[in-house]
Chain A
Amino acid sequence: SQQGEEDPQALSIQEGENATMNCSYKTSINNLQWYRQNSGRGLVHLILIRSNEREKHSGRLRVTLDTSKKSSSLLITASRAADTASYFCATDDRSSNTGKLIFGQGTTLQVKP
């Protein structure tokens, strides 16, 4: 079963605007990751944030994590048409000593040129 939910399910913006996607999860975590998936392709790792971190930046990406609310957000600034993709958050499974990732259902982002 899915760990949590992304919100919104779909987002359409103009090039140059910022895009914010939210992720909620259900169980305690060690870390949370965000991935991007272009249509028909595999997932590409964007950023990993640990449970003791509140915010992390990578280029135009900013991720926040609020473990008290079991939620995370991904902000893409100054969006480009090439950012059009589906975005997934994924959490680890603290109940098992594995690399298992539990994914949300994703947010589909469309950036119009």
Chain B
Amino acid sequence: DAGVTQSPTHLIKTRGQHVTLRCSPISGHKSVSWYQQVLGQGPQFIFQYYEKEERGRGNFPDRFSARQFPNYSSELNVNALLLGDSALYLCASSLWGNSNQPQHFGDGTRLSIL
């Protein structure tokens, strides 16, 4: 079975641009979460979606938004990019989105802001 897939794998943008990152969860998983991982640090929670509804939001500015589609895939959008947005963006899926379940991560999108 395919794991969590993310696209693109790498992306280079300039300050002020916007970006859309995409994630396909494991088949049957209804929850998708997004994390930002800055080099040398652990991932930080951005959003969780379950059954197309936002279930949780981390401490990120409104420039960050996301949505989940009927097929449970998800998009993360970031507007007005800043240098500090350079990071690895990880998507994780799980069956029900509860904290007592393992989360399955994709290999991420490496975003570089010039």
| A and B physically associate | yes
Contact B42 A99 (CB under 8 A): no
Please measure, in the bound complex, the distance between the C-alpha atom of A42 and the C-alpha atom of B43, giving whole angstroms: 10
Tell whether B27 is near chain A: CB-to-CB under 8 Å: no
Please measure, in the bound complex, the distance between the C-alpha atom of A42 and the C-alpha atom of B35, giving whole angstroms: 11
The chain B residue with its CB closest to the CB of A43 is B105
User: Contacting B107 at CB < 8 Å: which of A1, A2, A42, A92?
Assistant: A42
Q: Report which A residues bind B (CB closer than 8 A).
A: 1-2, 30-31, 33, 35, 40-45, 48, 50, 88, 90, 92-93, 96-106
Please measure, in the bound complex, the distance between the C-alpha atom of A81 and the C-alpha atom of B44, giving whole angstroms: 28
B contact residues, total (Cβ < 8 Å): 32
5 A-B pairs with least C-beta separation: A92-B99, A103-B42, A98-B56, A42-B105, A45-B102
User: Contacting B48 at CB < 8 Å: which of A40, A45, A100, A102?
Assistant: A100
Please measure, in the bound complex, the distance between the C-alpha atom of A93 and the C-alpha atom of B103, giving whole angstroms: 14
| Contacting residues of chain B (65-100) with chain A, CB-CB under 8 angstroms | 90, 92, 94, 97-100
Please measure, in the bound complex, the distance between the C-alpha atom of A8 and the C-alpha atom of B33, giving whole angstroms: 28
The chain B residue with its CB closest to the CB of A4 is B42
Tell whether B15 is near chain A: CB-to-CB under 8 Å: no
Q: Separation in Å of the B48 CB from the closest CB of chain A?
A: 5
Residues of A within 8 A of B110 (CB): 40
Tell whether B106 is near chain A: CB-to-CB under 8 Å: yes
Given contacts A42-B4, A99-B33, contact A88 B48 (CB under 8 A): no
Q: Which of A30, A31, A45, A93 has the most CB of B within 10 A?
A: A45
Please measure, in the bound complex, the distance between the C-alpha atom of A93 and the C-alpha atom of B44, giving whole angstroms: 13
Q: Which of A33, A98, A104 has the most CB of B within 10 A?
A: A98
Contact A96 B56 (CB under 8 A): yes
Q: Which of B43, B59, B101 has the most CB of A within 10 A?
A: B43
